[in-house]
Structure 1
Amino acid sequence: MPVRRIDPGRLRRLLTLEAMTPVPDGAGGFTQSWTALATVHAALEPVAAAPRFGADQSLPIVTHVVTLRARADMRSGMRFAAGDRRFSIETVHDPDETGRFLICRVREEGR
């Protein structure tokens, strides 16, 4: 399978990279608080949209691919923010193992 060539000029979208920080709730559990780590230039491409069924309702699942310059702190479980939109990072990989770029498969939250 050929390696996809990445054009750095396509990384025009500003996204905020966020990490979840657990905050104790005082009852032995925790709540999620999201902390902005960095603003990155990225390409955001829609891949698929499909319904997910459960609890007598249909919930849409929208997936995207985010391409950005490589960062050492990237991992699944983080998310990207763009205005009021949130994208949960499901996978992170280096497409050609050169350490220049990362490709993230993300799921858009709340859509």
Structure 2
Amino acid sequence: MTSPSDLRHRLTLQEVQRVSDGAGGATTSWADVAEVWAQATPVGGSEGIEAGRLAGKRAYEIVLRYRDGVRPAMRFVFGTRVFEILTAVDVGERRRWLRCLCEERDL
């Protein structure tokens, strides 16, 4: 189980925002929601062809203190690295820890 001393990575939680472009359309951008302390652990990886080139994907388990509203449409940012949230689970349904399965992609 995770202990508070394991939360060594300072991550930025972001969500997509749609912003009106003033001409009837909208653009999307990422907006910061919060900075959180978390434990990021690699759990696997794979390769595949994306846009005609070989691209790597790495799976990470990111554990943080429970936070309402974290969902798969969000992502974590750590420096120049981006972790897309695939799922978020309330560990033991006790609202104490949140375990997110994430994917880091080559950009």
TM-score after normalising by structure 2: 0.88
Give the counterpart letter for 2:29 in structure 1.
Answer: S
% identical aligned pairs: 36
CA distance in 2, matches of 1:66, 1:52: 23
Q: 1:8 to 1:32 in 2, by over 3 A?
A: same
CA distance in 1, matches of 2:82, 2:19: 20
| Unpaired runs of at least 5, structure 2 | none
The structure richer in strand per residue is 2
TM-score after normalising by structure 1: 0.85
- Note the 1:1-111 alignment, pairs <5 A: 5-25=1-21, 29-110=25-106
Alignment partner of 2:91: what SS?
Answer: coil
How much does 1:25 deviate? 4.4
Give the counterpart letter for 1:19 in structure 2.
Answer: E
Alignment partner of 1:73: what SS?
Answer: coil
Residue-pair matches, total: 107
Is contact 2:56-2:105 (8 Å) kept? no
